[in-house]
Amino acid sequence: MRKLIAKYPILYLSKQYDIGDELVANNPEMVKAWLDAGTAEWVEDEESVSDGTTDEKSEEELPPATATPVVAEAGLAGDAVGAETDENLVGKIPKTPARSRK
55, 67 Cβ separation under 8 angstroms? no
CA distance 28 to 33: 9
Q: What is the mean pLDDT of residues 27-40?
A: 94
Q: In this predicted structure, what is the pLDDT of residue 49?
A: 46
Averaged pLDDT score across all residues of the chain: 76
Instruction: Compute CA distances 58 → 50, 55, 81, whole Å.
Output: 14, 5, 64
Query: CB within 8 A of 24, min separation 6: which ones?
Result: 4, 12, 13
Q: What is the mean pLDDT of residues 89-96?
A: 64
Provide the whole-model pTM.
Answer: 0.45
